[in-house]
Structure formats: C-alpha cells, structure tokens
Amino acid sequence: MKLMRFGPRGDEKPAIVDADGGLRDLSGRCADFAGPGVSLDALAALRDLNPADLPLVQDPGRIAPCLAWVPNFHCIGLNYSKHAAETGAQPPKEPIIFSKATSALSGPNDPIVIPRDSVKTDWEVELGIVIGKHASYISEAEALSHVAGYCTINDVSEREFQMERGGTWMKGKSAPSFGPVGPWLVTTDEVPDPQKLDLWLSLNGEVVQSSNTSDMIFGVAEIVSYMSRFMELVPGDVIATGTPSGVGMGMKPPRFLKPGDVIELEVQGLGKQRQKAIAAT
C-alpha cells in the first residue's frame, strides 16, 4: 500500500493510493497515520478495505507529511562511506544515532525555511524507516518484521549549528521545516529489499546526490536491531538512515542553500519531494 495525507495545515486527511494512482479519502475509516495508526495491526485492517469504495480525491491541494506526528524522529549519521569521506570523518564502527526535534516534521513540498542567522543550511536525501511494532532487544533476523514501511526524507541540516556551536547535532537538525517526510508511506510488501533502492537529489536542476542504498554502511535490519538494544522503538517512530555523498558541506568550495533555491529528491518507489528555500521572517 501507498498511504499519504493531504490538505492544509491543521486540516489534513489520510488517504490511500489506488491501483490507478488515484487518491482515495480514508477520513472516518481509520485513525490518522501516526503512532498506533501505523502499527502493523492498523495496516492489516486497511488492507481489508477496497479503495474503489472510498471517495476519489479530485484535487488534493497540499500534500502533507505522510505521518501526522512522530513519537521519535531518529537519525543515523555518516552511514555512507563516501559521505563520511567528504566530511573528513572515518567510517563509524557502530551506527551514529542522533535525533531531530519532532517539530521539524514537514510536508514533502513545503518550503524549507532557512533559520535566522543561518549560513550553512544543507540538504540530505535519505531512506526513512517507519516502525510498526514495538521493538526491544530484537535480532537482525527479526528486525524487518517490526517495520511498517518506508518513505523519502530530506534530513535538512544547518552545519554551523550542528558542527561549530558545541553540544549535540540535534540543534543543527531541528529547525521548523527541517524534516520533510513523504509523499508516501509505502508498506513493506511493496519494498522487497530496502537495500536495493536508488536515491538522488538535485539543486536547481543539477543532480548533486546519486547513489543506492546498497552502499549503506549499516543496513535497515542492522540499524533497527542495533537501536533496539539502547531504546524501545514504538509504532510511528521514524528513522532517517543517512545520506550519500554530494551534500553542500562536502563540495569544494562548500555550497549551501539560499532563498530561491529549489531542491528535488526521490528514493526509488517511495515518491518525489520538491522544496523551495525561503528565509525565516
């Protein structure tokens, strides 16, 4: 299934994509897509619905984040060897885990708001994991059975805030609009191997990131299993799994977002995003 949400801020509705690519309104037929609403049990109930019986959305307007809210917005850092190299870091021996503020959650086509005092706002196309079942101390063999689905994520980052201002990475990752998620939450039955997905990002029409999830240092199963040793993962948690090379901080000279820049990005089979950068007011 491909699940998504649409509508203006504060009035979003859940929907399902039918076999012809049409959008079918799920309002009143299920909980919104967040927390228990994306548990494996909730998704199983959705599979019993016939999309043809649901109202067809003629004009969805704004495409909202595919998740209404997230209990936790986890991220994995330096998870592609070429990206680690372009930042001057050694490939990690274990997954680097950090968080974004959940208030960073944003729609796939909403503007990226460059924060006040920002000089190094950057882009990062990533495969996102959505957890569908409580996970604690699970093996790699069990890990994928705890996943609800996958999505496209842009892990927008302010590099000065992240790297040069002390403390944790979180403050460079968490500004409003820094977590575009969607357009779709694609259930695992449509993604037979999450380690065989192309992903790319373009800036003003120039492709600057192009890779495949086969190049991840730590794959999806290893990430989920590893994280479950240190915390309980819960339905609706999202995990951004790291970005390939081609980010602005790795360019020579470095290149960062300015108002008017347009970013487009996609993870194979999970849908495309398009964002325009604007200045914070």
Three-state SS for the chain is CEEEEECCCCCCEEEEECCCCCEEECCCCCCCCCHHHHCHHHHHHHHCCCHHHCCECCCCCCEECCCCCCCCEEEEECCEHHHHHHCCCCCCCCCEEEEECHHHEECCCCCEEECCCCCCEECCEEEEEEECCCECCCCHHHHHHHEEEEEEEECCEEHHHHHHCCCCHHHHCCCCCCEEECCCEEEHHHCCCCCCCEEEEEECCEEEEEEEHHHECCCHHHHHHHHCCCCCECCCCEEECCCCCCCHHHCCCCCCCCCCCEEEEEECCCEEEEEEEEECC
Instruction: Tell me what pLDDT residue 82 has.
Output: 81
Residue ranges for the chain with pLDDT beneath 70? none
Instruction: Tell me what pLDDT residue 86 has.
Output: 77
**Domain range summary for the chain, segments of one domain joined by +:** 2-64, 73-279
Strand 179-180 relative to strand 23-25, pairing: unpaired
Instruction: Tell me what pLDDT residue 87 has.
Output: 75
Torsion angle of C-alpha atoms 114, 115, 117, 118, degrees rounded to 10: -50
Q: Which of 144, 109, 108, 112 is nearest to 129 (CA)?
A: 144
Instruction: Tell me what pLDDT residue 89 has.
Output: 74
Joined tokens for residue 261: 């820049």
Taking phi first (over 0 means left), then psi (-120 to 50 degrees means alpha), and beta for anything else, what does residue 262 get? beta
Instruction: Tell me what pLDDT residue 83 has.
Output: 78
- The Cα-based distances of 1 to 59, 67, 99 in angstroms read 20, 15, 28
pTM of the predicted protein model: 0.96
Rounded distance, CA 49 to CA 26, Å?
A: 10
Q: Looking at the domain 73-279, which fold is it?
A: Fumarylacetoacetate hydrolase; domain 2 (3.90.850)
Q: Which of 55, 57, 17 is nearest to 33 (CA)?
A: 17
